[in-house]
Structure 1
């Protein structure tokens, strides 16, 4: 597994969900937008200090981005789900809950 690509893809996904451009994130973090692009595509290994600045500016726990690179991922995935649904209406949440329950039943049947 290429951790840089997985990590970068998560950063990109979360950045986009925050309606933030690479330019804005780069400015907040203190790097160039090209550097953010290289991180998001896995072309560049992100330094620890830059990683910390990115997760702080995106206002997310680091494990949310690292989940697929680590063996212990359940809490981070739950956080990611919560992040995705944070702006949903009650009606949307009810539909999502029904979809999740149905999906769980199907997944357990085929496993």
Structure 2
């Protein structure tokens, strides 16, 4: 998984855990909802400032958005949620 995919997977996981919609996260970050979608799908190369805003909006340290351990577990899980 490349760094954009890793970052996006962690943003999606943490956003959902926080009970936020893409729209709500976008509002807190001061960006458009489409930007969040692009981040979560790994199509957006974010700046350090965007990484900071995402971490603040999600209530986590910036490093949590680059944590490989959670993204790898998510990537390895079957799409239907069954083991």
TM-score by length of 2: 0.78
Equivalent-residue separation in structure 2 for 1:64 and 1:5 (angstroms)? 14
Equivalent-residue separation in structure 2 for 1:52 and 1:65 (angstroms)? 10
The equivalent of 1:36 in structure 2 is 36
TM-score by length of 1: 0.59
Q: Could you list the per-position Cα deviations for residues 61-103 of structure 1 after superposition, in whole angstroms to 9, with x for gaps in the alignment?
A: 11111122xxxx7xxx7xxxxxxxxxxxxxxxxxxxxxxxxxx
Greater RCO (Cα-Cα under 8 Å, separation 6 or more)? 2
Equivalent-residue separation in structure 2 for 1:50 and 1:65 (angstroms)? 11
Following TM superposition, by how much is the alpha carbon of 1:50 offset from its aligned partner in structure 2, in angstroms? 1.1
The equivalent of 1:53 in structure 2 is 53
The equivalent of 1:83 in structure 2 is none
The equivalent of 2:67 in structure 1 is 67
| Structure 1 residue matching 2:38: 3-state secondary structure | helix
Instruction: State which structure, 1 or 2, has the greater radius of gyration over its C-alpha atoms.
Output: 1
Q: Which ranges of structure 2 fall in alignment gaps of 5 or more residues?
A: 71-83
Following TM superposition, by how much is the alpha carbon of 1:4 offset from its aligned partner in structure 2, in angstroms? 0.2
User: Deviation above 3 Å: which 4+ runs of structure 1?
Assistant: none
| Structure 2 residue matching 1:23: 3-state secondary structure | helix
| Structure 2 residue matching 1:55: 3-state secondary structure | helix
Higher helix share: 1
Following TM superposition, by how much is the alpha carbon of 1:51 offset from its aligned partner in structure 2, in angstroms? 1.0
